[in-house]
Amino acid sequence: MKKTKPEQPKKITMKLAFLGALFVLGGLIGYYGFQDSENLVFKVVNDNVVDYRVFLKPNDFFDEPYLNSGKTYITSLIDHIDIDFKHSEHFSENASGKISYFLQATISADRTSGATGDGTYWSRDFQLTEPTTIDFENTDHATFNTTIPISYSYYNSILESFRAQYPVASEGTLKISLLVNSAIEADGFEDPLGFKAESSLNLPLLERAVEAKVNVNAGGKTQEFTTSIETTNAIFYLIMKIIGPLIMIIATICAILLFAKRRAFIKNNQYISTLDKIFGANDSIITNIENVPNFAKFQKFEVQTFDELLDAYNEIRLPINYYQNKSGTESTFFIANDNIVWIYRLRKRDLGS
């Protein structure tokens, strides 16, 4: 038998590497195709300022008609309080919309700080103004100011009445609040963006002297709104969505076929190499035949290796016959003596991958 050089699957390995790169490329194209939208972020920054002036009743000790904010005030001298609210909204992009606001007073009787438990005995809200709406258009900010006078003694008297009727140990509070509700129309957002904010001035009630406390940005100083919008050239991204996965599918199918072909190559190379070894060492004792005889009446011994067949040859010294089927996938070696036959079969399918 003429020796045949085993076929090396190097080209297949190179093709598999190329298909792997093609698969990755298809994945990148598909991923890019799905980047047909982007997140749009719109920010609102709220900046509130609360200032006030405490106007005094006629008295022999203070020459000025009012005291500015940030002081301690004798409650019996308070005539009324003017509270100034300034509300500002700053936008990350130009926007349009409406700001609606109103002023509200809240008085409450709370448990004293030293009492057991925590909570409020009673509270009541008073709407001080009707809702006011301000429109703004194509601007990066919106601002308004409003001022309201508050009769401190009026709310003080309400809480005095409550305490007289219900003599529980309590602390009183007057809270004057600016409540804001904005509807902002920004590019890229289908619905108006709702933004709420609250700022307030808190004053103790039923005290001989009080200090006011300002609370601003109760609704949160900054708020972000996010939406996803489609990018332009939708057809291009649709094509990328189709081409990318299609390339990956084709590359996968081709890789499977090449793996099968590579496996077949390896088996074929092992088959040829094994035959070359057998014939290289034993060519002089092997005889080629055209057909395999009918061994139906023979006592058959199927051996697992060619060396076992050589053991039989060394005992009986008869030539080893060789036959290969037409497909080239199986070779049969045998020794026949009278009615006994020793057979060794080399099958391509039995070889390892």
| Contacts for 92 with CB less than 8 Å, ≥ 6 apart | 41, 42, 43, 44, 140
pLDDT digits (tens, 9 = 90+) for 268-294: 878 888 888 888 888 888 888 888 788
User: What average pLDDT score do residues 234-244 get?
Assistant: 81
List the domain boundaries for the chain.
Answer: 1-36+231-262, 39-229, 289-350
The pLDDT-based confidence of 146 (bands split at 50, 70, 90) is: very high
**223 contacts 195 by C-beta, under 8 angstroms:** yes
Q: Where are the alpha helices (DSSP H) in the chain?
A: 10-33, 152-165, 234-282, 306-316
- Letter for the amino acid at 207? E
pLDDT digits (tens, 9 = 90+) for 35-76: 666 677 899 998 899 999 999 999 999 999 999 999 999 999
User: What average pLDDT score do residues 144-148 get?
Assistant: 96
Reply yes or no on whether the pLDDT at 8 is more than 60.
no
The pLDDT-based confidence of 350 (bands split at 50, 70, 90) is: confident
Closest listed residue to residue 84, CA positions, set 171, 185, 184, 176: 176
SS (H, E, C) 6-43: CCCCHHHHHHHHHHHHHHHHHHHHHHHHCCCEEEEEEE
For 101-159, give the DSSP string: EEEEEEEEEEE-TTSSS--EEEEEEEE-S--EEEEEEEEEEEEEEEEEEE-HHHHHHHH
Mean pLDDT of the chain: 86
Which whole-number Å values give the CA distances from 197 to 11, 46, 221, in the listed order?
70, 8, 8
% residues pLDDT > 90 (the chain) = 46
Q: Which residue has the higher pLDDT, 145 or 229?
A: 145
**207 contacts 22 by C-beta, under 8 angstroms:** no
Greatest mean pLDDT among 108-122, 140-154, 218-232, 267-281: 140-154
pLDDT digits (tens, 9 = 90+) for 189-237: 888 999 899 999 999 999 999 998 888 765 557 788 776 555 656 687 7
**168 contacts 175 by C-beta, under 8 angstroms:** no
- Residue 269 φ then ψ, to 5°: -65, -40
At 169, is the secondary structure helix, strand, or coil? Answer: coil
Q: What pLDDT, on a 0 to 100 scale, did the predictor assign at position 5?
A: 47
Cα(211)–Cα(69) distance, integer angstroms? 9
Closest listed residue to residue 88, CA positions, set 186, 175, 217: 217
The pLDDT-based confidence of 33 (bands split at 50, 70, 90) is: confident
